Amino acid sequence: MGDEDRRADFTALYLREVDGQVRRAALLTGSAETAHDLVHDAFVEVYRRWDGLREPGPYLGRSVLNRCRDHARREATARRRLPLLVERDQAGDEHLWDALQALPFNHRAAVVLRYYHQLPQGEIAELLGCRPGTVGPWLQRGLRALRKALA
Amino acid sequence: MNDLDDRLTDLLTRSAAAVEVRPDVDAVLGDDRDAAVVDLGRRPRDVRRLLALAATVLVVVGLGAAALVARPDDTRPLDVTDAPAAERRFPVFGDLPASLRDHRIEATDGAGTVHSFGDREDGDQLVRAALGKVADDGSVSDVIQLVASASTPEGPPGPPADEIEDLGGGYRLAVTVGQVEVYGPGTTVVAVGGPDTEDLIREIAGTSLTATTVVDGVPTLTLGDLPDGYTVTAPPTPADPEQAEAFVEGDYGVPTTVVETGVGSPDLAVISAGGSYVPVDIDGAPGVIAVRERRTIVAWTAPGGVHVRVASDLGEDDALLIARGIRLVDQAEWRRTYPERPEGEAPPIPAATTDHPLVGEPAPPVGGSTIGVAAYHPPQDAGEWTIVSFTATWCVPCVEMLDRLAPVHRDLHAAGRASVVSLFVDDTVAAAATVVEEHEVDWQVLVTRPSDVEPWGIDGTVPATAFVDPDGTVRGVVVGLMTGREIDQTLDALGG
């Protein structure tokens, strides 16, 4: 594949995916700026590996989620040392937004992928790199924690 | 579809729609063209994140103070001065070396004096440091936290090698990848490194601080008379003697005041959002106030301790009204307000301990690689209680907790009460082995994959601690950092 073809194919993927990936990452990290950074880095990685990727789309999705997970881990570590008040959802329902952002990453991701992207459990498991049977408990625990927080 | 389903779908849809996506494929292609320097290019972005983090955090550290609301009717006029940022210099920095005079500094000390800082530009270096004298028993005194920034055209340095160094006078310094930490066994505090970080800390470590009072009680806050429309919804009766929280609920249905004490130390830490702080006079004590979007933040000090409120969804007047209503109390008054538990009464089990789906269930089997000096025995075969500690080398509090587990393991195992098992989650054997050796871990250690501990429902949330009885049944799970005393008390409360 020539450079021009590769760039054209990658650009098509980028334009098709960037919007959804940034919005998803923003829901998972609670920050549009962080989402842009993480998604940008994932795209750079995909482009570098372009010739060796059989399915760049799914690879991109997993890469973005992994970067969100790493970000959540770093944030959690930092928060334990210097707890932060998270930025609140400007669109309202702040209690629910706060509770969502406070969920463990896998629970939060399962909830976002189910309720925003409306994905079935099999696809959620593929994106999160877990067994399909694991998604259900993550969703249940996430929803239980949200109900408890709202009670 | 139930109400929560509807709310979630609506919230996520609206929140996602509110994100402004800025496609820039040329930037991606450009980054790839410059692949050789991408790693360097990423660092400033990380620094910007750290700067953003710092700009949103104001940490106030105080020692041994309890506060009660007393005088909400004080209506003395405020002296609000919009002083230039350069004039808001904390006195402790008056003796800084000339080379550091241009640093902008935010700091709090053990007496609670707060200084803030102006806006920073991208590319500035940031130094966040906290210092305290660490006693042998783990208590920390003369605590100071500070943030300084300075323009450094060469950008941040590469990550220094891991090391721990005794700075003398009770101060200890740890330099880990990308950050500097000054810590003792009772607390962990953070600094983000710049090229002169160590020099800066050395300089400041030698600066005398205002004398502080260390009380062996519980620092906490309670709220009394509040403006109309505000009620206390969570009186600060801390389940954890080293933690306290206070919330003031407004008409908006969201928590509007948050006060938290430090975990694992007597430090009183109050967290607020960032913004431009303006000095104010509060009953003769210097304070700062910031109004940012829907939050109003007030922080101030008084002789002998820290007075702080973080109030969101409150107007400036109401926030100051609450702020003025707090006064310090001595330990005797604190004890009268919150009497101790009668002797002989069983200690309460923290609610969160038994609020886990595994409680009452058999402990799931654990796979992984055994490392260290002790052979692994599943809880069912241990013949005593097993304290399963989920940990990770990449989690700073977890590594700190390893040190706390040493006396727990020694005492409880010797008494035939319990043994300790540390499970490193999502780690390599090499990384875990290094930490185990450095911290002289002599109890059971397994290095697991995430799927190995998935049945425990920990999900990588570490540190976490599970208490398993001699029959192999999980009796409690605690997520978060625990002190050795807390582990002992929780085991006691669970019947172990």
User: How far apart are the C-alpha atoms of B300 and B115, rounded to whole Å?
Assistant: 10
Find, among A101, A63, A58, the residue nearest to A79 by Cα. A101
pLDDT of residue B463: 79
Percent of chain B with pLDDT over 70: 32
pLDDT of residue B387: 93
Contact A78 B53 (CB under 8 A): yes
CB atoms under 10 Å from CB of B258, counted, come to 19
Contact B45 A43 (CB under 8 A): no
**Contacts of the segment B327-334: beta carbons below 8 A, 24+ positions apart:** B327/B67, B327/B68, B327/B69, B327/B70, B327/B71, B327/B302, B328/B65, B328/B66, B328/B67, B328/B302, B328/B304, B329/B66, B329/B67, B329/B68, B331/B66, B331/B215, B331/B217, B333/B66, B333/B68, B334/B66, B334/B217, B334/B218, B334/B220
Range B382-393 average pLDDT: 87
Interface of B with A in 422-481 (CB under 8 A): 451, 454, 457, 459-461, 480-481
CA distances, B314 to each of A64, B257, B319 (Å): 38, 9, 6
B218 in contact with A, Cβ within 8 Å = no
Dump the DSSP string for B306-373: EEEEEEES--HHHHHHHHHTEEEE-HHHHHHHSPPPPTTPPPPPPHHHH-STTTTSBPPP--SEEESS
User: How far apart are the C-alpha atoms of B342 and B357, rounded to whole Å?
Assistant: 32
For B190, the closest of A10, A82, A147 (CB atoms) is A82
Nearest residue in chain B measured CA to CA from A150: B4
φ, ψ dihedrals at A146, nearest 5°: -65, -45
Contact A138 B454 (CB under 8 A): no
Q: Does the predicted model carry a pTM greater than 0.95?
A: no
Chain B residue numbers touching A27 (CB-CB < 8 A): 12, 15-16
Contact A10 B18 (CB under 8 A): no
Higher-confidence position of B157 and B317: B317
φ, ψ dihedrals at B95, nearest 5°: -100, 15
Contacts of B178 (CB under 8 A, 6+ apart): B46, B159, B192, B193
User: How far apart are the C-alpha atoms of A27 and B15, rounded to whole Å?
Assistant: 7
φ, ψ dihedrals at B212, nearest 5°: -120, 160
Nearest residue in chain A measured CA to CA from B189: A81
Banded pLDDT at B102 (limits 50, 70, 90): very low
Banded pLDDT at B396 (limits 50, 70, 90): low
Sheet holding B369-371, edge to edge: B369-371, B444-448, B418-425, B385-391, B464-468, B474-479
Tokens of B339: 């009497």
The residue count for chain B: 496
φ, ψ dihedrals at A141, nearest 5°: -65, -40
pLDDT of residue B468: 92
B42 in contact with A, Cβ within 8 Å = yes
For B14, the closest of A44, A91, A130 (CB atoms) is A91
pLDDT of residue B389: 92
pLDDT of residue B495: 80
pLDDT of residue B428 exceeding 70: yes
Chain A residue numbers touching B36 (CB-CB < 8 A): none
Q: Dihedral, CA atoms, B199, B203, B206, B212, nearest 10 degrees?
A: -110
Find, among B429, B33, B80, the residue nearest to B280 by Cα. B80
Classify the complex by whether its ipTM is higher than 0.90, answering yes or no.
no
Diameter over CA atoms, chain A:
58
For B8, the closest of A77, A81, A115 (CB atoms) is A115
Mutate one of A68, A82, A97 to test the B interface: name it (highest B CB count within 10 A): A82
- What is residue B445's three-state secondary structure? strand
CB atoms under 10 Å from CB of B247, counted, come to 17
For A83, the closest of B29, B188, B271 (CB atoms) is B271
For A84, the closest of B15, B57, B189 (CB atoms) is B57
Residues A9-43: tens digit of each pLDDT: 889 999 989 998 998 998 888 888 888 888 988 89
Q: How many CB pairs under 8 A join A and B?
A: 147
Range B230-255 average pLDDT: 29
pLDDT of residue B273: 24
Residue type, B112: G
A77 in contact with B, Cβ within 8 Å = yes
**Contacts of the segment A72-78: beta carbons below 8 A, 24+ positions apart:** A72/A28, A72/A29, A72/A105, A72/A108, A73/A105, A73/B394, A73/B395, A73/B460, A75/A29, A76/B461, A77/B394, A77/B395, A77/B396, A77/B397, A78/B53, A78/B190
For A40, the closest of B5, B27, B394 (CB atoms) is B27
Asked if B116 contacts B57 with a C-beta cutoff of 8 angstroms, the reply is no
Higher-confidence position of B84 and B410: B410
pLDDT of residue A25: 92
Asked if B259 contacts B308 with a C-beta cutoff of 8 angstroms, the reply is yes
User: How far apart are the C-alpha atoms of B175 and B189, rounded to whole Å?
Assistant: 12
User: How far apart are the C-alpha atoms of B213 and B329, rounded to whole Å?
Assistant: 13
φ, ψ dihedrals at B434, nearest 5°: -65, -45
pLDDT of residue B155: 30
Contact A23 B21 (CB under 8 A): yes
pLDDT of residue A21: 92
CA distances, B157 to each of A74, B34, B115, B165, B178 (Å): 20, 20, 27, 19, 8
Residues B246-299: tens digit of each pLDDT: 323 232 222 333 332 222 222 222 222 223 344 555 555 545 554 443 344 444
Which runs of consecutive H residues, i.e. helices, occur in B99-221? 197-205
Residues A47-99: tens digit of each pLDDT: 887 877 777 888 888 888 888 877 776 665 444 333 222 333 334 577 888 88
Q: How much is the mean pLDDT over chain B? A: 50
Higher-confidence position of B111 and B31: B31
Banded pLDDT at A150 (limits 50, 70, 90): confident
- What is residue B180's three-state secondary structure? strand
Higher-confidence position of B221 and A89: A89
pLDDT of residue B316: 54
- Pick from B73-77, B176-180, B314-318, B396-400: least confident: B73-77
Q: Min CA distance, B16 vs chain A (Å)?
A: 5
pLDDT of residue B240: 32
CA distances, B386 to each of B181, B391, B469 (Å): 32, 15, 6
Interface of A with B in 102-131 (CB under 8 A): 104-107, 111-112, 115-116, 130-131
User: How far apart are the C-alpha atoms of B128 and B144, rounded to whole Å?
Assistant: 11
- Sign of the Cα torsion B401, B404, B410, B415 reads negative
pLDDT of residue B209: 24
Chain A residue numbers touching B57 (CB-CB < 8 A): 82, 84
pLDDT of residue B445 exceeding 50: yes
- Pick from A25-29, A108-112, B39-43, B394-398: least confident: B39-43
- What is residue B457's three-state secondary structure? coil
Tokens of B67: 């506060």
Tokens of B27: 């930037």
- What is residue B146's three-state secondary structure? strand
- Pick from A67-81, B26-40, B58-72, B284-298: least confident: B58-72
